[in-house]
Structure 1
Amino acid sequence: MAIDIGGGETGLLAWMLKRNVLKNVNQLLVNFHGITTDISQSVYVEHLMILSDLYTEGFRTFHFQRKLNCIFKEDKGKTGCYSIYMIRRMPMTGPLEVYGPDLIENKTSTDLAFMYSSLLISSQVHCKELVRLGKVSDGGWDVCNDTKYRLSSPCLVYSFGIDNDWSFDDDISTTFGCETHSFDPSMGMLDHQRSKKITFHNIGLWGKPRGLKGTWTMMNLKEIIDMLGHTGKIIDILKMDIEWAEWEAIPNMLATGVLRNVRQLFVEFHGSPGPDSSLLSRLTSLRGIYDQGFKLFWSHPNVVGDNPKIFSVTGREVSGCYENYFLNTNLINLK
């Protein structure tokens, strides 16, 4: 059942729950509205009570999406409407396993395209508490604040790819007090101290030893960690939005083992969603991340700009760019 009525969803759902209308509904997709900058506390309580009642009814959220057309003008970090996708609780057979070499080596490019697209919108481990830092729209990121994966104190963050949007870096440094290192050679900025907690480095990330890419200074992750004196330290968040270069950088990270000290890994993956000669290597990299203990806890398509594309195999619209969030299940907090 899909509900998108532009307002009054909580009242309609309350009516349905009271009359047991939802008893035979397996999937419930709802667009919620009604949150404004000046609403009373009672409206938030009303939304929370309906979600609690739906949980009691047996529904579990499997995905949600912030609606960008409702972003507050006064606060770009908040939105007044959101979509929640729910399914009735049912027995689980275990988390999705990333495809291994035995399953992908002899597949056609069309099969690989299906595998890639389905994997990037899945999840493998649950995070009960998400904190959005930075913009609601493109530029912000969702941090897992579960006790098991909570950031260290003090925490350390590497942020690759700024493009003059500091919203995440500023937020993570002030909200959690993290020592944050920001990297982007494309902005024409020299190394500098942006704030007490944020250091900017005019360096780009790739998979080769230190060198030049045009006029840009490039380094691999192990070199950067060693340079900053962080060898052996836990990096609480490693964020990458580096416009396709992730596929060059990740194999080197896997080979050198530096990801094993990363607690949360955020990557914006770029690439054609359709049949493509690079899909085998992309899926191999995703399998490598999985093998080092990382499991997807959240993902969503980036739909800004020209990212939405038609998947040639099905004719359905998909994205050529996905934000994926991983938790290192080998670095669980025991306290």
Structure 2
Amino acid sequence: MVQDTNRGVQSRTKTRIKVNRLFFVIGLLVLVCIFDVVHQRKTFMMQMKSNKSRCEKVIDEMNLFQIPDEDIIDKMDNNALYLLFDTYVNLQQYHCCNLTRQGPKQSSGKNICEDYFFKPGSKCIVYSFGSQLNFDFEESIWRSFKCEIHTFDPSMPVEGKTLPTFIDYHLIGLSGKNFIQTEPEKWRHHDNPLLKTWKMQTLSSIMDTLNHSVTTIDILKIDIEGWEWNALPDMIKTDILRHVKQLCIELHFGYSFKYQTTNGRIKPVFTKNTWGNVPIKNQIKLLKQLFNNSFRIVRNEPLNWGTIKIENKVIRILNE
């Protein structure tokens, strides 16, 4: 998603400062890259003119499809919510002229916008939540931008592991509150041992601990297996995302699933629980809140891991 050039239409006549956030959606497992930057309108328009020969596509903000109001969402059944989600995340609400892939094409890589105001600078900082000791994304970011990189994952022990020298690794998970998780749930199908207790913190607490409370985070990558819905409300409430230029987030929509092996084949099996234990209606409402905070979708690429069929329409569970 792209953020409107202002934080809301009403503020357009009050200030010349603009805030742009882009949003790459991956989604019913939706990967979202969000970009946030403050700049003056005149400078922005001059840059757009200079890019015109390379980037002609302009999206009409006034004709964007929008999620309905909360009172309407509350009256929708789950089928309608799935269809609404599928329609919404497959929109392009901002056109990035300089889109690059950091890491491989599969889910460990992420799309990054390198347009003028969104490209990581010379002293860039990157937060990467969820790695399972896979550092393809971080390695690509390091080669491209030489950023200060912080990787967070509380799930797996690192004793005896060789970690890249260009990252700071933290055994911390992202959450909507600060607590110790004593019964972590195994979701992915793998044989790697998991730690028995996880330290969980909010994004604002983590940034404060690292002395980044008023520092720009150039790229915030979140891939935390459905618990993004638990962490997002605190980010929106505290307005901590105002410090983030790009957010790449994998969204898991609707009911959760686990991988099971049957006759030697791995397949997803749906459970009775929603991702992050957040109701489906609230997941949709969070997407609307992001839109109301000026976030706009940039790109969505379906992945071939799990689908659900509603009204003869196949909806992919994982999208990037």
Deviation at 1:128, TM superposition (A): 0.9
Instruction: Sort the Cα spacing of 1:289 and 1:90 in 2 relative to 1 into closer, same or farther, 3 A.
Output: closer
Deviation at 1:232, TM superposition (A): 1.1
Q: What corresponds to 2:23 in structure 1?
A: none
Instruction: Sort the Cα spacing of 1:228 and 1:321 in 2 relative to 1 into closer, same or farther, 3 A.
Output: same
Choose which of 310, 314, 324 in structure 1 pairs with 2:311: 314
Higher relative contact order (CA 8 A, sep 6+): 2
Q: What corresponds to 2:291 in structure 1?
A: 290
**1:121, 1:188 → 2: CA distance?**
37
Q: What corresponds to 1:200 in structure 2?
A: 169
Q: 1:280 is paired with a residue of what secondary structure?
A: helix
Q: 2:301 is paired with a residue of what secondary structure?
A: strand
Alpha-carbon displacement from aligned partner over 1:278-323 (angstroms, at most 9, x marks no partner): 22110111112222222111112222xxx32132x22333221233
Q: What corresponds to 1:118 in structure 2?
A: 87
Q: What corresponds to 2:109 in structure 1?
A: 140
Aligned residues: 232
Choose which of 206, 217, 220 in structure 1 pairs with 2:199: 217
Report the identity percentage.
Answer: 31
Q: What corresponds to 2:63 in structure 1?
A: 94
Q: Unmatched 5+ residue regions in structure 1?
A: 1-88, 324-335
Q: What corresponds to 2:224 in structure 1?
A: 242
Q: Which amino acid aligns with 1:318?
A: I
Instruction: Sort the Cα spacing of 1:202 and 1:314 in 2 relative to 1 into closer, same or farther, 3 A.
Output: same
Instruction: Sort the Cα spacing of 1:197 and 1:99 in 2 relative to 1 into closer, same or farther, 3 A.
Output: farther
Q: Which amino acid aligns with 1:308?
A: G
**1:280, 1:240 → 2: CA distance?**
21
Aligned 8 A contact 1:96 1:123 in 2: no
Q: 2:128 is paired with a residue of what secondary structure?
A: strand
Alignment of 1:1-335 (within 5 A): 92=60, 94-189=63-158, 194-214=163-183, 215-272=197-254, 278-303=279-304, 307-311=305-309, 313-323=310-320
Q: 1:211 is paired with a residue of what secondary structure?
A: strand
Aligned 8 A contact 1:179 1:198 in 2: yes
**1:150, 1:96 → 2: CA distance?**
27
**2:202, 2:88 → 1: CA distance?**
26
**2:69, 2:182 → 1: CA distance?**
33
**1:288, 1:241 → 2: CA distance?**
20
Instruction: Sort the Cα spacing of 1:158 and 1:135 in 2 relative to 1 into closer, same or farther, 3 A.
Output: same
Deviation at 1:133, TM superposition (A): 0.8
Deviation at 1:147, TM superposition (A): 0.9
**1:283, 1:237 → 2: CA distance?**
24
**1:224, 1:91 → 2: CA distance?**
36
Alpha-carbon displacement from aligned partner over 1:29-83 (angstroms, at most 9, x marks no partner): xxxxxxxxxxxxxxxxxxxxxxxxxxxxxxxxxxxxxxxxxxxxxxxxxxxxxxx
Deviation at 1:91, TM superposition (A): 9.1
Q: 1:251 is paired with a residue of what secondary structure?
A: helix
Q: Which amino acid aligns with 2:176?
A: G
Q: Which amino acid aligns with 1:162?
A: S
Aligned 8 A contact 2:59 2:94 in 1: no
TM-score normalised per structure 1: 0.63
Q: 2:319 is paired with a residue of what secondary structure?
A: strand
TM-score normalised per structure 2: 0.66
Q: Which moved more, 1:147-156 or 1:128-137?
A: 147-156
**2:69, 2:242 → 1: CA distance?**
20
Deviation at 1:212, TM superposition (A): 2.9
Deviation at 1:191, TM superposition (A): 12
